Structure 1
Amino acid sequence: MSTDDDGKRPYQPQPAGPLSAEAREAVYHTIHTRRDVRDQFLPTPLPDDLVRRLLEAAHAAPSVGFMQPWNFILIRDPEVRQRAWEAFSSANDEAAELFSDERQALYRSLKLEGIRKAPLSICVTCDKDRAGPVVLGRTHNPKMDVYSAVCAVQNLWLAARAEGVGIGWVSIFRDEDVRDILGIPDNIEIVAWLCVGYVDQLYQEPELALKGWRQRLSLDDLIFKDGWGRKGD
């Protein structure tokens, strides 16, 4: 039996073979049917044990230097969510003005009511100081802590899909507004505001593709070989 670096706690390596065909199919199905939910939330509260499972999935995400920089702020209070929606709505109006007339009309037609409709919001943050000033793996790329927190978001999102729960990632807000609403310290980075709730249906394709905003790119066009821009044979 092997031991870890301090020579005290034994650990036993686990088999590293592939999952069963059924399990593999379930993983890929979950990935490919995940959707960003903007408006289709049901008001039904989420059970505490389900929310715990989602957070445990997020907490199982990989992190550089095993620093685990994330925190999860659970927001259920309707007044807090209303304040967040007002902050979002103001920023959303500003964002709409950045698009041309035709594009702006399509932008404004997209329903973005998740903050008020979903029974739960989760604000995911990143504490860059959690593992101290020098972090294994972050020495030459200071963004690795935030990338790690985004992995936690993805884990949570996929677990939610498996549970029949929808997730909407709200990114249109002024950082200082959310920081003020939730009392987040200046040294903590806001990574994501997630709207979380049951849904009874999901789009077969990403909503923005179906509504003509943007189409999925060809994977073949995004693959290079042995260097930037090299397409190979």
Structure 2
Amino acid sequence: MVRRRRMVRDYDPDRPVPPEVRDRLLEHAIRAPSAGFSQGWAFLVLESAAERDRFWAATTDGGTPDGWLTRMRRAPLLIVPFSSKDAYLDRYAEPDKGWTDRDEARWPVPYWDVDTGMASLLILLTAVDEGLAAAFFGVPPERVPAVRDAFGVPGTHRPVGCISVGYAGGEDKRSPSLKRGRRGLDEVVHRGAWGVTG
């Protein structure tokens, strides 16, 4: 499943994701690890044409879509994963964690985003397991307020991206970035000390 996972950017618009499969994607997402079992994630599920159109209107400039966007817009299911920093600050101010305040300075790494990213990866892997295609892509920062307004998202939650899901379409093209090749273990693994690879 891990070796078959790839970002797919074209979908068959006539094949919706079955509800039971959609539910499995989300059930697996909430199995992701989270710091302090804070579980500071939420998922906006967009299935109807009207909901998806509202998302694309909120996240794009409204001009004529390019080929990439045209193919992506065919996805019958969009899942927008949101992270909540407040869930982590609140959780770690509880008695069993030993902190008495919500000081954000204790978090040099934003685990609310990391954990939501892990939940997103479980959605991507479950999609492969279910015979679906999927892709993770970003929400432009300047468009986040429009997404909040379009769907009534509280200010406590921030989108970490969006996951398009569906059955692969016929025009999916491999990203030109793949020509770079996957970096090998000898380039990314450091044993015992940085600079000692392999």
Shorter-chain TM-score bucket reads 0.7 to 0.9
Deviation at 1:53, TM superposition (A): 0.9
Deviates more, 1:57-66 or 1:141-150: 141-150
Deviating above 4 A after TM superposition, structure 1's stretches of 4 or more consecutive aligned residues are: 135-140, 200-203, 209-212
Whether 1:168 and 2:135 are equivalent positions in the alignment is yes
Deviation at 1:51, TM superposition (A): 1.0
In the alignment, the residues of structure 1 paired with residue 176 and residue 3 of structure 2 have an alpha-carbon distance, to the nearest angstrom, of: 14
In the alignment, the residues of structure 2 paired with residue 129 and residue 44 of structure 1 have an alpha-carbon distance, to the nearest angstrom, of: 38
Whether 1:158 and 2:143 are equivalent positions in the alignment is no
Q: Relative to 1, partners in 2 of residues 1:202 and 1:52: Cα closer, same or farther, differing over 3 Å?
A: farther
Determine which structure has more spread, i.e. the larger CA radius of gyration: 1
In the alignment, the residues of structure 1 paired with residue 31 and residue 78 of structure 2 have an alpha-carbon distance, to the nearest angstrom, of: 20
| The one of 86, 92, 95 aligned to 1:134 | 92
Q: Relative to 1, partners in 2 of residues 1:91 and 1:82: Cα closer, same or farther, differing over 3 Å?
A: closer
Q: Relative to 1, partners in 2 of residues 1:215 and 1:35: Cα closer, same or farther, differing over 3 Å?
A: same
Whether 1:181 and 2:150 are equivalent positions in the alignment is yes
Whether 1:120 and 2:77 are equivalent positions in the alignment is yes
In the alignment, the residues of structure 1 paired with residue 137 and residue 71 of structure 2 have an alpha-carbon distance, to the nearest angstrom, of: 8
Instruction: Return 5+ residue gaps in structure 1 as ranges.
Output: 1-29, 94-107
Deviates more, 1:52-61 or 1:194-203: 194-203
Paired residues in the alignment total: 185
Whether 1:190 and 2:159 are equivalent positions in the alignment is yes
Q: Relative to 1, partners in 2 of residues 1:202 and 1:161: Cα closer, same or farther, differing over 3 Å?
A: farther
| The one of 114, 118, 125 aligned to 1:147 | 114
In the alignment, the residues of structure 2 paired with residue 76 and residue 177 of structure 1 have an alpha-carbon distance, to the nearest angstrom, of: 19
Instruction: Return 5+ residue gaps in structure 2 as ranges.
Output: 99-103
Deviation at 1:142, TM superposition (A): 4.7
Q: Which string of whole-angstrom CA distances, capped at 9 and with x for unpartnered residues, describes residues 158-201 of structure 1?
A: 01100011112221522222222222122212112111112267
Deviation at 1:121, TM superposition (A): 0.8
Query: Could you state the TM-score of these two structures normalised by the residue count of structure 2?
Result: 0.78
Q: How does 1:1-233 map to 2 (within 5 A)?
A: 30-90=1-61, 111-131=68-88, 132=90, 134=92, 136=97, 139-173=106-140, 174-199=143-168, 207-209=174-176, 212=179, 214-231=180-197
Q: Residue 10 of structure 2 contacts residue 169 of structure 2 at CA under 8 Å; is this kept in 1?
A: no
In the alignment, the residues of structure 2 paired with residue 196 and residue 63 of structure 1 have an alpha-carbon distance, to the nearest angstrom, of: 24
Q: Secondary structure at the match of 1:117?
A: coil
In the alignment, the residues of structure 2 paired with residue 115 and residue 76 of structure 1 have an alpha-carbon distance, to the nearest angstrom, of: 14
One-letter amino acid of the counterpart of residue 231, structure 1: T
RMSD: 3.1
Query: Could you state the TM-score of these two structures normalised by the residue count of structure 1?
Result: 0.68
Deviates more, 1:83-92 or 1:67-76: 83-92
Q: Which string of whole-angstrom CA distances, capped at 9 and with x for unpartnered residues, describes residues 81-129 of structure 1?
A: 2232234442999xxxxxxxxxxxxxx6x62335521111111111222
Q: Relative to 1, partners in 2 of residues 1:170 and 1:177: Cα closer, same or farther, differing over 3 Å?
A: farther
